[in-house]
Amino acid sequence: MSNSVTVKVPATTANLGPGFDCIGAALTLYNEFKFTRLDPPQPPLAKGGHGGDPPRVPGGLRITVTGIEADRVITDESNLAYQSFLKLYQHIGQTPPAVEIQINLGVPLARGLGSSATAIVGGLVGANLLAGSPLPQNEVMGLAIALEGHPDNVVPALVGGCRLAATNATDWEICDIPWHGDIIPVVAIPDFELSTAEARRVLPTEYSRADAIFNTAHLGLLVRGLETGKRDWLQAALQDKIHQPYRQALIKGYDAVKDAALASGAYGMVISGAGPTLLALADGASATAVATAMGDAWKEQGVKPEVLTLQIDSQGAKVSI
């Protein structure tokens, strides 16, 4: 049994337009979580990630955070990676060890790129490994989905690729969605945040039959469009009636950035997860122009974006011991 394990977890983009709460893809942008068993329990380090010294926790915990927005991460026992770590030990009926968690962040917080999912997957996978791998991956996945409340970020964060998740009685069917090599994800990340809770609060609780049919058809088309890279299918498929119409107003400059992405050759543009990051899909020939156009359009609206041309991560959570 190892005393130290590092879990590198990819960012994710969920929904992809019509696939609200059921489809998502892993991106080549990462958070890293290193778990080191502290045996016997140690006092906290002199300096914490933010707000001074991390508090002493019964049993022993210390958390340090580096990377982007590191000073905003909670370093006490309510830290999401640690809560997920505890959850796994609770599930297997073992006492969790005292632990040091070193977090290195590359995924911005509260921007619709699955930062919470990286913490949940990192905590569960790290705990499972320190415990000697008692749980198979599908059980870790079930815990991750239960903690997050929906599967579309945690599933690709854990296993990589683009994944569709559907409930099957008490279990989940996870389906690999082939992603054509000439579909490039371009993410435009603004300098403002949008909490997932707020972005979910604005959604209706009921939808018309017409909207349900619209999204059913478009999600089917999206799956085939992603597989084939067929432009006409992708252009139509990225439309949605379940979440985007209600969330667009929360994202300053949404229309301008979308117009710019489409005018520069993108297949389409959607809200990444719950937003406010905007995701364009483009072919290799136009991806750079799309990225520049999205960035310029947002700057004209007074928003400072970071625009990244990424790839699909095919591996998911990667472990090194």
Q: Which one, 21 or 139, has the nearer CB to ligand HSE?
A: 21
Binding of residue 31 to ligand HSE (CB under 6 A): no
Task: Kindly list the distances between the CA atom of residue 153 and the CA atoms of 5, 113, 137, 289, in Å, as whole numbers in the listed order.
Answer: 22, 8, 16, 28
Binding of residue 152 to ligand HSE (CB under 6 A): yes
Chain-centre distance of CA 255, in angstroms?
24
Least Å from the CB of residue 242 to ligand HSE? 9
Contacts of 243 (CB under 8 A, 6+ apart): 15, 20, 199, 203, 271, 274
Least Å from the CB of residue 294 to ligand HSE? 20
Q: Which one, 26 or 99, has the nearer CB to ligand HSE?
A: 26
Token readout for 92 is 């297997």
Determine the residue type at 158: L
Annotate each residue in 222-261 with x if it binds ligand HSE (CB under 6 A) or - if it does not, as one string. ---------------------x------------------
Binding of residue 274 to ligand HSE (CB under 6 A): yes
Binding of residue 84 to ligand HSE (CB under 6 A): no
Q: Which of residues 191-210 bind ligand HSE (CB under 6 A)?
A: 196, 199-200
Q: What is the size of the binding site for ligand HSE (CB under 6 A)?
A: 13
For 74, other C-beta atoms within 10 Å of its C-beta total 17
Q: Which stretch binds ligand HSE (CB under 6 A): 45-53, 84-92, 150-158, 161-169?
A: 150-158
Look at the block and give the residue holding tokens 């609206």: 301
Q: Which one, 14 or 135, has the nearer CB to ligand HSE?
A: 14
CA nearest neighbour of 312 among 190, 196, 182: 182
- Rounded-to-integer distance, Cα 140 and Cα 128, Å: 8
Q: Which one, 123 or 273, has the nearer CB to ligand HSE?
A: 273
Q: Which one, 15 or 36, has the nearer CB to ligand HSE?
A: 15
Q: Are 18 and 133 in contact (CB under 8 A)?
A: no
Number of helices (H), then strands (E), belonging to the chain: the values are 10, 11
Q: Are 242 and 210 in contact (CB under 8 A)?
A: no
Annotate each residue in 94-133 with x if it binds ligand HSE (CB under 6 A) or - if it does not, as one string. ----------------------------------------
Least Å from the CB of residue 112 to ligand HSE? 7
Among 6, 13, 15, 244, binds ligand HSE (CB under 6 A): 15
- Per DSSP (E only), the strands in the chain are 4-14, 23-37, 61-67, 99-105, 162-168, 171-176, 184-189, 268-271, 278-282, 306-309, 318-320
Binding of residue 180 to ligand HSE (CB under 6 A): no
Residues at the interface with ligand HSE (CB under 6 A): 14-15, 20-21, 150, 152-153, 196, 199-200, 243, 273-274
